[in-house]
Amino acid sequence: MTPEQTAAAAPAPAAASAASAEEARVGVVTPTPASGAVASTPSRVDVSAEAATFLVSLTAQHGPLMFHQSGGCCDGSSPMCYPVGFFRVGAVDVHLGDLHVDGIDPIEVYMSRSQFEYWKYTHLTIDVVPGRGAGFSVESPEGKRFLIRSRMLTDDELRAFGLDEAVAGAVAPA
């Protein structure tokens, strides 16, 4: 393959995508530089204590991980966990936020933009339960599977994400 063919076959850099990386990031939680504490911006995603412990183990086996919230078909609406780089995200995906687990790098969580339109008022917690995972998610052979526990965003979270129209008692513009 010529260098030109190799360059053409390579994934496009994030900056060249139709939607910039910043446009795709929604409700990102970042640690503050001084203390390592999480910034005051709320997150759309969280992880249960049991899932966090399991993620440390999976990271030791597979390296850095990421999640993509499946939109259906064979795996229903399971959160799919992949080694970073195994699942390609792009302009059609929304970065919901990062899971912060002690001892490992932050784990990015994504969802397709079209599915996000239905879930944008919802906070998602990734949990783990006994059972066999499906598809190519890394927990499949471990006798456990990830699942989503959800709740509606609070009024404060809705405001923080610019979803003021959904706040209880909000008056629609005339």
What pLDDT digit, counting tens, does each position of 116-133 carry?
A: 999 999 999 999 999 887
Report whether pLDDT(147) > 80.
yes
Only one residue has tokens 């900056």, namely 15
Query: Can you name the CATH fold of 42-163?
Result: Hypothetical Protein Aq_1857; Chain: A; (2.60.300)
Residues 137, 68 contacting (CB under 8 angstroms): no
Residues 164, 170 contacting (CB under 8 angstroms): yes
pTM of the model: 0.74
88's CB contacts (< 8 A; 6+ apart) are: 11
Give me the pLDDT at residue 174, please. 58
- Give the domain ranges of the chain: 42-163
Please give the structure tokens belonging to residue 52: 């966090």
